[in-house]
Structure 1
Amino acid sequence: MYREHTREVKIGDRVIGGGNPILIQSMTNTRTEDVEATVAQILRLEAAGCDIIRSTVPNMEAARAIGEIKKRIHIPLVADIHFDYKMAIAAMENGADKIRINPGNIGGPENVAAVVKVAKERNIPIRVGVNSGSLEKQLVEKYGGVTAEGIVESALDKVKMIEDLDYHNLVISIKSSDVLMCVRAHEVLASKTDYPLHVGITEAGTLWSGNIKSSIGMGIILYEGIGDTIRVSLTGDPVEEVRTAKLLLRTLGLRKGGIEVVSCPTCGRTKIDLIGLANQVEAMVADIPLDGVKVAVMGCAVNGPGEAKEADIGIAGGIGEGLLIKKGEIIRKVPEAELLNVLREELLHWEE
């Protein structure tokens, strides 16, 4: 797969590229200078399975906060910089593990050189980020609009600015809200560089539409073996981004992560609140530290055991009672009100 041939880049105590597991990123939506709120959110994200966190650094107060935040979290922190190169330098001086910049919008070659100088001294990786929404006018004219090829050329131009300063500790991200354009751009970029790639569909939308667009676009890209870190961009609680990313990677077989819940669609045979039960099970298993265990939630006792036979454990509803199932075999009958607790106890005392 393409991922095996990217360079290795170290971000804090994590390593990406070179065939290492794909890491999940998210971004805080607190004011970074509000240390308490930012730390609290990062700790929630860590618990959800976030591997790398990015925070915006729009002012010097936020840059100084990086140092205090770093003392209280356990995952690498990336500083997100827009326009002001001094913020990039300050963030690195305060302990940022990586910075994200667009070298084309921080004020000219001399400012890029100043940032790279500090990054080189501290061996801090730079993520070169290019967004289709800010594609340069000359590239829009060259390609007759915003295109995948134009986005890639823009990104590689920015990379060359840093390479010309003899620095190669780089990660590249190219994003577009146009899903298929984003897929095409990653395919083109992957054929032209061996730097690690951060994958995401930008401005994907709300929890509903964003999950669908991200799953389609990122699913295609990742299935093609492209990508070393990912972020699911959602308009909502960033913890939801991590949950989706974990499921996306697990569904593609690229990474284990938590308990998988499968459930049948409702039908006329269903005699219990299957929708509510399935949601309760999904929420309940989120904090149980098991990997590779599949849990089935079935709506009736007619087909439940057979349909759940590929799961490690499952429950199936009846009239006022339900079945506990392991590998398709009925283990015991349980009153409906006790189904959830019985399942939880089984998982908490799980033995292969």
Structure 2
Amino acid sequence: MTAHDHTHLRPWRTITRRPSRKIRVGNVEVGGDAPITVQSMTNTLTADANATIGQIRQLEEAGADIVRVSCPDVESTAALSTIVKASKVPIVADIHFHYKRGIEAAQAGAACLRINPGNIGRPDRVRDVIQAARDHGCSMRIGVNAGSLEPHLLEKYGEPCPEAMVESALDHARILQDHDFHEFKISVKASDIFMTVAAYQMLADAIDCPLHVGVTEAGGLRSGTIKSAIGMGNLLWAGIGDTIRVSLAADPVEEIKVGFDMLKSLGLRHRGINIIACPSCARQGFNVIKTVEALEARLAHIATPMSLSIIGCVVNGPGEALMTDVGFTGGGKGAGMVYLAGKPDHKMDNDRMVDHIVELVEAKAAELDAKRLEAAE
């Protein structure tokens, strides 16, 4: 057990996930007892297979479990088979307006087809997409957006609202169920976090399929991260959500990082180093901010779940180190204390601490990986 793994002793940290059916997106399980998956979407031209594969590779390295690509035209679905073959993670084809693109994407090897009820067209067209998904082993996502609801629902409700979004989702779920197709998940996203949260809460009570959670068009890196963390964090804390996408007007890799940070902060998923650091003040024994920046960059390659505390002085340093795998607390005379597994271990000069901590963390990660491998054999 790592130093930070104490959830079972603290019931107030327990999140009970909403029970849902489990489906598969390629070789990745979504829903049920499967880990909450993190996904993003490419923003290259899908028709440019090389550029799209390059971006997928970056997302894979950042930890993406699933990647979505937009398929707006025949050139995109034509490139999809090359993209799917090169990808290590399942590919979701994003389909809007043209139902035939969905059929072509299924034939090209997409693991999942995303359709938007507000613009995919008549039920008979949806039926053809369902048949293609069934024939090619695809799952589907019903992706409802507040900004593209069906005209009859806007007329009925007067404006986009949670009730309209949920009605749209359930109407389309019924079409899939009527065709005996159950490998689907649903999303009900809005850019308004109040609407998003209310819609997901209603949907969670109305159906047992997995839910893809996100706040759509959340904004730039900082503002979008904050909006997403408030809306999605609220839902995840309540146990709602089986796969997530953070929608940022930023490099898609940032979406993956924010998604994992969100799940890490709630103890729902662990990947990489969780750095606990003080904001720094006049008591700091070293430059905390610059040290944390350096460590984040130097430890970004480690996927092993671990915790590291970097605290400027002895007010909170020893207490935080008690709960982490590796810790460093600032002291006097240009040196601080290194903690291992919660206990003070040895002193280290500030000017050598970054290199030293990187070595300690890499060694601890290798040790944890070896133990995990041994346990799996």
TM-score, length of structure 1 as denominator length: 0.93
Give the Å deviation of 1:244.
Answer: 1.2
Choose from 225, 228, 243 the match for 1:211: 225
Could you tell which deviates more after superposition, 320-329 or 106-115? Answer: 320-329
Residue aligning to 1:27: 41
Change (3 A) 1:303 1:200: closer
Give the Å deviation of 1:315.
Answer: 1.9
| Contact 1:81-1:87 at 8 Å conserved across structures | yes
Choose from 309, 312, 317 the match for 2:322: 309
User: How many residues of Structure 1 are paired with residues of Structure 2 in the alignment?
Assistant: 351
Choose from 251, 254, 258 the match for 1:244: 258
Give the Å deviation of 1:10.
Answer: 1.1
Residue aligning to 2:90: 76
Say which SS state the counterpart of residue 5 (structure 1) adopts: coil
Per-residue CA deviations over 1:7-50 (Å, capped at 9, x if unaligned) read 22111111111221111111111111212221111111111111
Which contiguous aligned blocks of 4+ residues in structure 1 show a shift greater than 4 angstroms? 1-4
Give the Å deviation of 1:302.
Answer: 6.0
Change (3 A) 1:330 1:58: same
Partners in 1 of 2:105 and 2:89 — Cα distance?
Answer: 16
| Contact 1:101-1:128 at 8 Å conserved across structures | yes
Partners in 2 of 1:12 and 1:202 — Cα distance?
Answer: 24
Choose from 324, 333, 336 the match for 2:350: 336
| Contact 1:104-1:158 at 8 Å conserved across structures | no
Matched, 1:65 2:79: yes
Change (3 A) 1:104 1:267: closer
| Contact 1:123-1:169 at 8 Å conserved across structures | no
Say which SS state the counterpart of residue 227 (structure 1) adopts: coil
Give the Å deviation of 1:210.
Answer: 1.0
Q: How does 1:1-352 map to 2 (within 5 A)?
A: 3=17, 5-291=19-305, 293-300=306-313, 303-318=316-331, 319-350=333-364, 351=367
1:74 maps to amino acid: K
Could you tell which deviates more after superposition, 93-102 or 15-24? Answer: 15-24
| Contact 1:102-1:158 at 8 Å conserved across structures | no
| Contact 1:151-1:174 at 8 Å conserved across structures | yes
Structure 2, unmatched stretches of 5+, are: 1-14, 369-377
Per-residue CA deviations over 1:157-188 (Å, capped at 9, x if unaligned) read 12223333332221111101111211111110
Per-residue CA deviations over 1:121-172 (Å, capped at 9, x if unaligned) read 1231111111011123432343343211111011111222333333222111
Change (3 A) 1:3 1:124: farther
Structure 1, unmatched stretches of 5+, are: none
Say which SS state the counterpart of residue 66 (structure 1) adopts: helix
Give the Å deviation of 1:303.
Answer: 4.9
| Contact 1:6-1:194 at 8 Å conserved across structures | yes
TM-score, length of structure 2 as denominator length: 0.88
Say which SS state the counterpart of residue 172 (structure 1) adopts: strand
